[in-house]
Chains A and B, each alone.
Chain A
Amino acid sequence: MERSFAKEVALLKKGAGEVFEGEGILAITKALLQAGVSYVGGYQGAPVSHLMDVLADAKEILDELGIHFEPAANEAAAAAMLAASINYPMRGAAVWKSTVGTNVASDALSNLASAGVVGGALIVVGEDYGEGASIIQERTHAFAMKSTMWLMDPRPDHSRFVDLIEKGFELSEASNTPVIVEFRIRACHMHGRFIAKDNRKPSLSRNHPIESPSFDPGRICLPPHTYVQEKQKVEKRLPAALEFIRREKLNEVFAGTQNDVGIILQGGLYNTVLRALAQLGLADSFGTTPIPIYCLNVTYPLVPDELTAFCSGKRAVLVVEEGNPDYLEQAINALLRKADLQTTVVGKAVLPMAGEYTASVVLEGLARFLEGAVPKGLDLAAVGAAVERVRAAKEKAAGLLGAPVPKRPPGFCTGCPERPVFSAIKLVERELGKVHISADIGCHTFSTLEPFYLGNSVLGYGLGLSSSAGIAPSFGKRVVSVMGDGGFWHNGLTSGVTGAVFNDQDSVLVIMNNGYTSATGQQSIPSSTADGRKPRTTIETALMMMGIPWVKTVRTYSVGKMVKALKEAMTTTEKGLKVIVATAECQLARQRRLKPQIAKQLAAGKRVVRTRFGVDDEVCTGDHSCIRLSGCPSLTVKDNPDPLRQDPVAHVNNDCVGCGLCGEVADAAVLCPSFFRAEIVQNARLLDRALWHIRSRFIEVLQGNDAAAPAPAAAE
């Protein structure tokens, strides 16, 4: 980790009565400390990475409170940590990105939920859904239902977040059940404020160790206890949870005046619905609206009597529930029928079944509901007009623009060390033909986008190699699997490499060894060497111990060598797994470290050579092959300065970090001679300057001689 979180850590120290102003995920982190957690584990991933980052930097606070913090090897390991709360009255929290992290964790979670807990166990998940998400679109809701864990979806407001984290622990303890709290992307990154409380020292912790182990056969997940545990879930834990939710008013009812209709919503969507109501002229800026709202801060389980009380006397209610399946809508329908209430439940009929509930989606759905339900005495003129305004604006804009504007998905950073590997694969494909590539999760998944379009499947974090197992034997050519070092340690070594060794898989694995889990924010891993630290272990060591003879470490920027290694791996007669460890540090992290160092050296008058690439625009013919083999943000195009040519020429802008890929690709791909490398000697020494002057003079003389011929001169 090259970034410091000192400022964020300071926020965690706020005491009772002080105003905390900051990001949502930090408020959640602070809430854990206020709730007196004994331990926190997790695995990084947007949108909850910051919780991990900040705690990793908060050693002083954690030591003082006695809290154990562990960046776990993966989400399963993080979930398994919660075992501490099965036997001991310790509060613990686990955090990860969902649903992918919950998938990985679910073995541990099922067992945890069956055994039940005595100490509060909270699982904080970042619901990575909608715009800005980087994973498959699913709901965490299903996990809560199938394992009988409670699911909270707090209304976006820092005070509410902090309050509900505390209540979540209490709920967990009152019902002996782990509780999941989900926060959407925008909520995690939301800036807001709340009045802090003092952090609470846990009674059992590193600083106050447990004296003797507690043994309770009823907590063991083995028959016959598991049968008892299943019964406990429905007979004891659920009623206890319902009682707690009701008593502590975890769900909120905002009364209105238009009592023939109402809205039931997931807490996380409250603000969006309120804004849509305001846009329709039906709410003010403080949440006052004539339409009654039942805000579910706990989305599983539903509290039947609360629900029927809200719905009774209403002709229709709108259920605002994001994602599919429509678990809430189904459950509400069932509960109302059981209670023999005839309230019409409208949900996915007016709102989309799939996709994020953005402001405009909710606006349209709400308008359709109101126009359909026609609440008594409500003026609906403004409703249609608001929707029409949006539609008209978009239509006019589309007309003016003439075509959709180009998409701009994320891609490899300037100078990224992973890019050259895909340049090399493209070059190998020119010779050997197209290859099947099992891609993996990480920054390297961007290889599937323009300009590379490389990667035929993505199956999950660290599963690049495993996902080749089925296809490899049925392919005429060896298949290539890609895996990042993050994925390797998360899962790839155990499931991928072990499986390939055991099953004699004959294929090629490329491991991107850039020193961090880069896509999640450059967190450290066992093979990290950041700050010149000795790695705890290396990928090569692990592979050697797995007994893989064919392992080659290649510097990623050496495209020629990478091409050679790939070709050899693809064509050698040697059977078994062939692994290329493509090594070079994450450029984002590297620049973050180097920039201040270089600035210091320059200020001290030290000699620093700055390298960057350029394109001779008269030599470039505007075919852009170089861009198709690189896609580096700093390798771009500009207007052709040649009055005869029309297509833009390639151009290297000043963001170039001089990684050398342009030159390597031009060379390895035999592209064109328009690239040049410029080395700028800053704080040049006397010898540098003397040599330079001599050379320049000599070259000028040569050019002078040449001037006899009609020498052109630039007139700009």
Chain B
Amino acid sequence: MSTRPVTILVAALGGEGGGVLADWLVEAAMSAGFPVQSTSIPGVAQRTGATTYYVEIYPETHAALGGRRPVLALYPSPAEVDVMVASELIEAARAVENGYVTPDRTTLVAATHRVYATIEKMQMGDGRFDAERALRACREMAARSILFDLTRSPRTRALALNAVLLGAVAGAGVLPLARSDFEAAIRARGVAVEANLAAFAAGWEIGQNGPAPDIAPESGHALPRALAVDVDAMLAETAQRFPAAAIKIVEEGVKRLVDYQDEAYARLYLDRLDALRDLPEKVLAEAARHLALWMAYEDVIRVAQLKSRPERLARIRAEVRAKPEEPVHVTEFFKPGIDEIAAVLPAGVGRVLRDWARSNGLLDRFHLRMRLRSTRISGYLRLLLLAKMKRWRRRSLRFAEEQALIEKWLDAVARAAAIAPEFGLEAAVAAKVLKGYGDTHRRGRANFEMLMTRIIEPAIAEQRNAAPLLRAARQAALADEEGKALAKVLPPAAPMKLAAE
């Protein structure tokens, strides 16, 4: 068989420097004297969409070829790619999906952090593609895979990704080019030469020896932040009362509620769970999770509490990458409506205010617009005052209403579980549709009530297992904002009883 061109396909997102990476490859091949051709389809894909660059290098120099010119292709051929480079996990997976990564031929060099597609991140629940599967497919389909996640380590986070990828390709030794050819290419382009050479060197190391442990791909979830609340005594008690599967969640719940309100409130949580103790472990665990979240519902007081925490500013500083000597000013955007103001007022007053607003059509129209500068003394004091209102929360309108609904739900969970464990589980998880603030919260609440009155309660009354329907309805409730999907799933409202004829 005659010598064939070495084929390199680069997949990147618009604006990530994939074009520069392709140019470097071309330049490196040029400096080695090889015929090289590259092409791309930038167009509008430049605007954040997925795009590819394709390079072919013929591994015999122009000089050696005399006047002969190889015919190089403009399209990558599935199953005919020698080096697949991807700047992101799903773009690597897309290459795998399209047949550009094959076990007999392809070296896959890919950054495995995620840049979520809009369609993934806009979902009301979790719309992310299964990263574990994507990684596995990459590993299994490639002849050799060099996968790394630069975002995992502060050491590598700031490196130019395209130069690291180039370095990894070079270091992998799969191209007929020397390290000096690549470095010459970076120098020839003349943009941010030193930074790119440093990133290239880091990539070279990865290509030669594989990624260091701190940047090896990791698809597991980040370790959660634990609350350091002193609840040892209560937790000791908890440990004896609940099965192992639920214990971690219950512990978190206790901590959450002590922080949210006080110990007595956490005890109420434990007491409520006590009534469910004999349910199957999984049902109990999910009930414990959603009960804790529900009891720690988000009102203005809670938000102020979270935003006035001492450690918050340090976290923000780290997130926005402020240097130690740089002052950081933080502005908050609060805009509670009458609903949310009434929620934290004493129940009687709150109800009057809300009813008045509702009858005057002001519920959706009036909002208290607050731009709060929490790094200023006045702003911080206002936050702190709001947070301190938690002392009166127990008397507030929303507290009363939430507790009543919680009791109703817990009762339903127990009854549903008695019919079938999976029905109990679904009844517990149904609380997932409750989330957000303002409109979002009202929509979630309405959906939850729909699940209760149209599915859970009728099924309990008829002693029927409604788990599959309930699961479908919950997923539908989180499918769109307008409730179109939910309307399709929900059984029709119970017909009015006709008078006996």
Q: Is the CB of B96 within 8 A of A400?
A: yes
Among A131, A451, A621, A707, contact of B437 (Cβ-Cβ < 8 Å): A621
**A653→B320 CA distance, assembly (Å):** 8
Q: Are B75 and A400 in contact (CB under 8 A)?
A: no
Instruction: Flag whether A397 is at the interface (Cβ < 8 A).
Output: yes
Is A207 at the interface (CB under 8 A from chain B)?
Answer: no
* A446 within 8 A of partner (CB): yes
A418 CB to nearest B CB, Å = 11
Instruction: Enumerate chain A residues within 8 angstroms of B311, measured Cβ to Cβ.
Output: 713-714
List A contacts of B280 (CB < 8 A).
none
Give which listed residue, B129, B332, B374, B481, contacts A406 with CB less than 8 A: B129
Contact in complex: B133, A401 (CB < 8 Å): yes
Instruction: List residues of chain B with CB within 8 A of the CB of A398.
Output: 97
State whether the Cβ of A708 lies closer than 8 Å to any Cβ in chain B: no
Q: In the complex the two chains form, is A673's CB within 8 Å of B332's CB? A: yes
B133 close to A400 (CB less than 8 A): yes
Query: Which of chain B's residues has its CB closest to A133's CB?
Result: B43
Query: Would you give the 0/1 interface string for A47-59, flagging 1 where the beta carbon is closer than 8 Å to chain B?
Result: 1000000000000
**Interface: B38 (CB within 8 A):** yes
Residues of A within 8 A of B322 (CB): 678, 680
Cβ of A274 within 8 Å of any chain B Cβ, yes or no, is yes
Of the candidates A286, A619, A648, A712, the one whose C-beta lies within 8 Å of that of B71 is A286
A679 to B90, CA, bound (A): 33
Q: A359-B76, A667-B369 are in contact. Are A673 and B303 (CB under 8 A)?
A: yes
Q: Is the CB of B4 within 8 A of A285?
A: yes
Q: Decide yes or no whether B229 CB sits under 8 A from chain A.
A: yes
A624, B121: Cβ atoms under 8 Å? yes
Q: Is B380 touching A672 in the complex (CB atoms < 8 A)?
A: no
Q: What A residues does B440 contact at CB under 8 A? A: 621, 623, 625, 671-672
Q: Which of A128-166 contact B (CB under 8 A)?
A: 128, 131-134, 156-157
Q: Check A191 against B133 for contact (C-beta < 8 Å).
A: no
Residue B496 CB within 8 A of the other chain: no
User: In the complex, A310 Cα to B150 Cα: how many Å?
Assistant: 57
Q: Is the CB of A410 within 8 A of B119?
A: no
> What's the nearest-Cβ distance from chain A to residue B70, in Å?
5
Contacts of B130 in A (CB 8 A): 402-403
B438 touches A670 (CB 8 A): yes
Report the stretch among A345-353, A532-540, A681-689 that lies at the interface.
A681-689
Q: Which of A21, A401, A623 contacts B435 (CB 8 A)?
A: A623
| Partner among B91, B224, B335 whose Cβ is within 8 Å of the Cβ of A670 | B335
Contact of B50 with A408 in the complex, beta carbons under 8 Å? yes
Task: Kindly report which residue of chain B lies nearest to residue A681, judged by CB atoms.
Answer: B327
CB-CB < 8 A to A698: which residues of B?
377, 380
Whether B2 pairs with A284 at a CB distance below 8 angstroms is: yes
A227 within 8 A of B: no
- Given A639-B221, A699-B375, verify A406-B307 contact (CB < 8 Å): no
Complex interface: chain B residues within 8 A of A712 (CB) = 227-229, 259, 309
B114 CB, nearest partner CB in chain A, Å? 9
Stretch in B204-212, B250-258, B458-466 with 4+ CB within 8 Å of A: B250-258
B137 at the interface (CB under 8 A from A): yes
Q: CB-nearest residue of chain A relative to B37?
A: A192
Interface string of B74-96 (1 = CB under 8 A from A): 11111110000000001101101
The answer to whether the Cβ of B497 comes within 8 Å of any Cβ in the partner chain is: no
* Separation of A713 and B70 alpha carbons in the complex (Å): 66
Instruction: Say whether B97 contacts A404, CB under 8 Å.
Output: yes
Partner of B330, one of A287, A390, A677: A677
List the B side residues contacting A47 at CB < 8 Å: 43
Task: Give Cα distance in the complex from A702 to B115, angstroms.
Answer: 40
B119/A407 in contact, CB under 8 A: yes
Residues of A within 8 A of B306 (CB): 616, 618-619
Chain B nearest CB from A358 CB (Å) reads: 5
Task: Look across to chain A and name the residue whose beta carbon is closest to the beta carbon of B38.
Answer: A191
> B473 to chain A: closest CB distance in Å?
17
* A420 beta carbon closer than 8 Å to chain B: no
Which of chain B's residues 365-416 have a Cβ closer than 8 Å to chain A?
A: 367, 369, 374-377, 380-381, 384
Interface residues of A in 393-432 (CB under 8 A from B): 393-394, 396-398, 400-414
How far is B45's CA from A411's CA once the two chains are assembled, in angstroms?
8
Pair A271/B30 contact, Cβ less than 8 Å: no
In the assembled complex, which residues on chain A have CB atoms less than 8 Å from the CB atom of B75? 186, 272, 275, 358-359
Smallest CB separation, B226 vs chain A (Å) = 5
* Docked-complex contact A670 and B37, CB < 8 angstroms: no
Name the A residues within 8 Å of B128 (CB-CB).
637, 648
**A389-B79, A677-B330, A678-B328 given as contacts; is B435 within 8 A of A410 (CB)?**
no
The answer to whether the Cβ of B72 comes within 8 Å of any Cβ in the partner chain is: yes
Type the 1/0 row for B197-236, where 1 means its CB is closer than 8 Å to any CB of A: 0000000000000000000000001101111111000000
Chain A residues, CB < 8 A from B26: 191
A672 touches B49 (CB 8 A): no
Contact B319 A614 (CB under 8 A): yes
Does B325 interact with chain A (Cβ within 8 Å)? Answer: yes
Known contacts A406-B129, A637-B121: A272-B99 contact under CB 8 Å: no
> Chain A's nearest CB lies how many Å from the CB of B53?
9
Asked if A675 lies at the interface with its beta carbon under 8 angstroms from chain B, I say yes
Q: A410-B14, A619-B306, A713-B310 are in contact. Are A401 and B331 (CB under 8 A)?
A: no
Q: Which residues of A contact B99 (CB under 8 A)?
A: 360, 390, 393-394, 397
Q: How far is the CA of A146 from the CA of B330 in the complex (A)?
A: 65
Rounded to whole angstroms, the CA-CA distance of A281 and B490 in the bound complex is 59
State A47–B74 Cα separation when bound (angstroms).
15
Contact with B along A99-142 (1 / 0, CB 8 A): 00000000000000000000000000000100111100000000
Once bound together, how far apart are the Cα atoms of A562 and B130, in whole Å?
Answer: 39
Which residues of chain B have C-beta atoms less than 8 A from A645's C-beta? 293
Q: B289, A644: Cβ atoms under 8 Å? A: yes
CB distance from A126 to the nearest CB of B (A): 10
| Residues of chain A contacted by B342 (CB below 8 angstroms) | none
- Bound together, the chains give a CA A646 to CA B256 distance in angstroms of 16
A405-B93, A410-B14, A411-B48 known; A684 vs B326 contact (CB < 8 Å)? yes
Cβ-based interface call for B284 (8 A): no
Q: Is A305 an interface residue (CB 8 A)?
A: no
Query: In chain A between 172 and 188, which residues have their CB closer than 8 angstroms to a CB of chain B?
Result: 185-187
> In this assembly, does A642 line the interface, its C-beta being within 8 Å of a C-beta of chain B?
yes
Chain A residue contacts of B488, Cβ below 8 A: none
A46 within 8 A of B: yes
> Cβ of A413 and Cβ of B47 under 8 Å apart?
yes
Q: Could you say which residues of chain B place their CB within 8 Å of the CB of A635? A: 121
Q: A499 at interface (Cβ–Cβ under 8 A)? A: no
Instruction: Give the docked Cα–Cα distance between A600 and B71 (Å).
Output: 47
A137 to chain B, nearest CB (A): 14
Residues of B within 8 A of A318 (CB): none
In the complex, B312 has a CB within 8 A of chain A = yes
Judged by a CB distance under 8 angstroms, whether B237 is at the interface is no
Given contacts A614-B316, A621-B298, A692-B327, contact A446 B438 (CB under 8 A): no
Which residues of chain B in 106-145 are interfacial with respect to chain A, using CB atoms and an 8 Å cutoff? 115-126, 128-130, 133-134, 136-137, 140-141
Q: Does A5 contact B (CB under 8 A)?
A: no
Enumerate chain A residues within 8 angstroms of B120, measured Cβ to Cβ: 406, 637
| Contact in complex: B49, A411 (CB < 8 Å) | yes
**Interface segment out of the listed A259-267, A507-515, A547-555, A626-634:** A626-634
CB distance from B125 to the nearest CB of A (A): 5
Known contacts A673-B303, A682-B326: A394-B98 contact under CB 8 Å? yes
Name B residues whose Cβ lies closer than 8 Å to a Cβ of A. Answer: 2-5, 13-15, 23, 26, 30, 36-51, 54, 58, 68-80, 90-91, 93-94, 96-99, 101-102, 115-126, 128-130, 133-134, 136-137, 140-141, 221-222, 224-230, 248-249, 252-253, 256, 258-259, 289, 292-293, 298, 300, 303, 306-312, 315-316, 319-323, 325-335, 337, 367, 369, 374-377, 380-381, 384, 432, 435-440, 444, 481
Subset of 7 A-B contacts with CB under 8 Å = A275-B73, A390-B99, A397-B101, A443-B44, A446-B47, A671-B437, A678-B328
Given A393-B79, A646-B432, A678-B330, 7 more A-B residue pairs with CB atoms under 8 Å apart are A186-B74, A285-B2, A398-B97, A408-B90, A667-B369, A678-B320, A713-B311
